[in-house]
A and B are shown apart, each in its own frame.
Chain A
Amino acid sequence: GAVVSQHPSRVICKSGTSVKIECRSLDFQATTMFWYRQFPKKSLMLMATSNEGSKATYEQGVEKDKFLINHASLTLSTLTVTSAHPEDSSFYICSAKAPDNEQFFGPGTRLTVL
Chain B
Amino acid sequence: GNSVTQMEGPVTLSEEAFLTINCTYTATGYPSLFWYVQYPGEGLQLLLKATKADDKGSNKGFEATYRKETTSFHLEKGSVQVSDSAVYFCALSSGTYKYIFGTGTRLKVLA
List residues of chain A with CB under 8 Å of any chain B CB: 6, 32, 34, 41-44, 46, 49, 93, 95, 97, 101, 103-108
Contact = CB atoms under 8 A, between A and B. Distances in A.
Interface in B52-111: 89, 93, 97-104, 106
B12 interface: no
Given A43-B89, A44-B89, A93 B101 contact: no
Interface of chain B, main secondary structure = strand
B98 A46 contact: yes
A105 B37 CA distance: 11
B42 A107 contact: yes
Contact of A108 (B43, B102, B104, B106): B43
B60 to A, nearest CB: 14
Contacts of B106: 41
